Amino acid sequence: MTRRTLRVALDQGAGRSGDTASSLTRLAGRARAAADAGADLLIGPEMSMTGYALGSDVARLAEPADGPLFEAVARVAADTGVAIVYGFPERADGRVYNAVRLVDGQGADRALYRKNHLFGDLDRDMYAPGDTAVVQTDLGGVRVGFLVCYDVEFPEAVRAHALAGTELLVVPTALMQPNVLVPTLLVPARAMENQLHLAYVNRCDVEGDLDYMGLSTLVGPDGAELLRAGPDEALLVGDVDPAAAADVLAEHSYLEDRRPDLYGSLAV
């Protein structure tokens, strides 16, 4: 497939918690704005369509991956021609998962990922953990992979994507104050040490007693911030250029210079 730049829009914001109708209305407006900016892909925060801190309400809002919410988001994607990454509680096999899904600009399902690393009782009281380390798809000639929030804080999770050839790692997030070092220090380091693009898209509102900090970012394979939001609602648009990663890898490759014979056992 012909390689080209993928233009991505980071949607730092969310609809009213527990109200999917408001989230869909907001998504339609954001997708239209992203399309007007020439974006190929719109990325929302963790659980963007329902809210994150749902408590017992998760049972009401959870639905199958191909349920009404998917159909509604697919219509927005097809109407605007913009691929969309959205988060929702997925009901499957008698469990509920913290899931993200990608639909392409024609409204077709392209990928589904379930959060693997659950954050404390807040996650564990609502969700079952996923069991697939790497989920990828091709979008516009760029190999896109997925993690959710806490997942990115584990170096093994991001390294698995790098070894599998992920070029853009998409990380919808609901990170609260005061964990500012995660988006400002850890996330750029993850991109640099794995020499891939990383889109970290966080909430910026208040949900119950949770105060989300924003600070969404798109980081290049050299660790440089290509986009950085502040604490308020924003739509940021930037380009993912696979050639930039190729240039970084040509200069030096952490992946090629690894010594798994020395430390491979540390991963178990």
Which residues are identified as catalytic? 46, 115, 149
What φ, ψ does residue 60 adopt, rounded to 5°? -75, -35
CB atoms within 10 A of CB 147: 30
Please state, in angstroms and rounded to a whole number, the distance separating the CA atoms of residues 212 and 197: 23
SS3 at position 263: helix
Question: 């996923």: which residue's tokens?
Answer: 130
SS3 at position 18: coil
Q: Structure tokens of 26? A: 């907001």
Question: 């980081």: which residue's tokens?
Answer: 219
User: In this structure, are residues 15 and 22 in contact, taking their beta carbons and an 8 Å threshold?
Assistant: yes
Order of all β-strands in the sheet with 83-92: 109-114, 95-103, 83-92, 41-43, 6-12, 234-240
Please state, in angstroms and rounded to a whole number, the distance separating the CA atoms of residues 135 and 187: 19
Please state, in angstroms and rounded to a whole number, the distance separating the CA atoms of residues 68 and 199: 27
By the 10 Å C-beta count (0-12 exposed, 13-18 middle, 19+ buried), 117 is classed as: middle
